[in-house]
């Protein structure tokens, strides 16, 4: 990660290296099908841990996820259908960007391995 005048610069190459990702195992109780193995890494996080950018990957499978933060997501590759608590669904693929607000209850159905970059904002510090 390069920096100029204290401003972090993150390259897409940094965001796509599998070897540098940590195991972000999902709790068993949220998995609803398949084997959605997840890995990720914060590339930057504010000192108060309420803002962060990072990369996340997930293998095919399905799971429930309740958002406790606002998250802007950009899919680099893969495909997943995300359904919210009201039954609204969107299928996202590489090149798609979307926003999920805090309080959203969702179900993810990952059909092909997903790699995404994200930015999150939270009222409380986020520890992953």
DSSP reduced 3-state for 39: strand
What is the four-CA torsion angle of 68, 36, 55, 74, rounded to 10 degrees? -80
Its pTM stands at: 0.85
Residue 10 resides in a domain = no
| Number of structural domains found in the chain | 1
- Which of 41, 57, 36, 54 has its CA nearest to residue 114? 57
> Are 118 and 74 a contacting pair, CB within 8 Å?
yes
**Residue range 73-100, pLDDT digits in tens:** 999 999 999 999 999 999 999 999 999 9
**Residue range 12-24, pLDDT digits in tens:** 655 565 558 999 9
DSSP reduced 3-state for 56: strand
Domain of residue 114, CATH code: 2.60.120.10
Q: Which residues contact 11 (CB under 8 A, 6 or more apart)?
A: 1, 2
Residue 46 resides in a domain = yes
């Amino acid at each position: 990660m390069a920096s100029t005048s204290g401003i972090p610069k993150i390259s897409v190459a940094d965001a796509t290296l599998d070897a540098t990702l940590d195991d972000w195992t999902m709790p068993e109780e949220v998995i609803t099908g398949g084997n959605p193995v997840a890995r990720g890494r914060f590339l930057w996080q504010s000192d108060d841990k309420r803002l962060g950018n990072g990369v996340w990957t997930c293998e095919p499978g399905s799971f429930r996820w309740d958002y406790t933060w606002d998250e802007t997501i950009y899919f680099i590759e893969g495909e997943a259908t995300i359904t919210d608590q009201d039954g609204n669904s969107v299928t996202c693929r590489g090149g798609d960007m979307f926003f999920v607000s805090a309080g959203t209850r969702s179900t993810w159905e990952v059909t092909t391995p997903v790699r995404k970059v994200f930015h999150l904002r939270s009222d409380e510090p986020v520890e992953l």
